[in-house]
Amino acid sequence: MSDDKQEPNVNKKEYNPKLDFYSAEFDPLLALNTPSVSVPVPNAKRYDNLAAFTSAMNKQKNPEQNENRKEKASKSAVPVERKWLPHQLPTASRKKTKYSRNIFTKMENTTGPLALLRKCVEEKLRIKVYTKNQEKTRGYCIAYVVAFDKHFNLALEDVTEVWTRRKKKKVPAFDGVESLRKSKFQRQFQFPEITISQHSTDKKLEVCTRHVEQILLRGEHVVLVNVFNEEEKSEI
């Protein structure tokens, strides 16, 4: 046996200056592609770009400059007060409410003469509507108004219609017409009965009266509208 001591086989890493972070020959691309490279400071802060790193280094070298920037930022954070004159101050405004365009909303916002019709709708008052034909005043209708618009188109219910006509020109309306029938539903439709009476002053005219449950009266046929007085029932 020899007295010489044999050193154990130790796998020593060969020194590569390109992988030394403190070497002037350091190659960052090679270090990224080498998995066994150990970073000197594993918990170091990461920066997105070189400009952010340079700014952080400058703050460490000149802490006084950083404090001056904070003071300037705090002063600039004070709100600027404008010296408004009294007539220049903002005024509170109301937000306009948007109404859906239908006949009911327009009925609620009517003013002027149409406000009387709105009152009749709300208080269930009967009205007397004088109507006309192509030549002259035809007659009148006494009814409850349900709906109306700015053109005086009227939706009426419980209508008593009175009109005058010549005896020889026309036969009684719906005279001799039997009730109609729909074959599919077997429903009968009957025309309202008309009561004919003699005119009080002119013998050539006759007065027709009928009662209708509902009727739509166009505004072009309306002459005058007023609230019906119960004392005028004797005129019908």
Q: Residue 175: pLDDT band by 50, 70, 90 thresholds? A: low
Q: What is the mean pLDDT of residues 227-231?
A: 72
Token readout for 56 is 């952080």
Q: pLDDT (tens digit, 9 = 90+) per residue, 62-114? A: 777 667 777 777 766 667 777 888 888 888 777 777 767 788 888 888 888 88
Q: Residue 7: pLDDT band by 50, 70, 90 thresholds? A: very low
Q: Which residues fall within 8 angstroms of residue 190, CB to CB, at 6 or more apart?
A: 179
Return the residue matching tokens 């029938």: 181
Q: What is the mean pLDDT of residues 45-67?
A: 81
**Domain residue ranges in the chain:** 29-75, 115-235
Question: Which one, of 145, 143, 141, lies nearest residue 117 by Cα?
Answer: 145
pTM (predicted TM-score): 0.48
Token readout for 32 is 């990224």
C-alpha–C-alpha distance, residues 146 and 214, integer Å: 10
Q: Which residues fall within 8 angstroms of residue 231, CB to CB, at 6 or more apart?
A: none
Q: pLDDT (tens digit, 9 = 90+) per residue, 156-165? A: 999 999 998 8
Q: Is it the case that residue 224 has pLDDT exceeding 80? A: yes
* Helix ranges restricted to H, the chain: 28-33, 50-61, 63-76, 103-108, 114-123
Average pLDDT, the chain: 78
One-letter identity of residue 168: K
Question: Which one, of 162, 131, 163, 141, lies nearest residue 214 by Cα?
Answer: 141
C-alpha–C-alpha distance, residues 142 and 138, integer Å: 14
C-alpha–C-alpha distance, residues 28 and 33, integer Å: 9
Token readout for 58 is 């400058």
C-alpha–C-alpha distance, residues 152 and 103, integer Å: 12
Class assignment of domain 115-235? mainly beta
C-alpha–C-alpha distance, residues 134 and 95, integer Å: 48
One-letter identity of residue 105: T
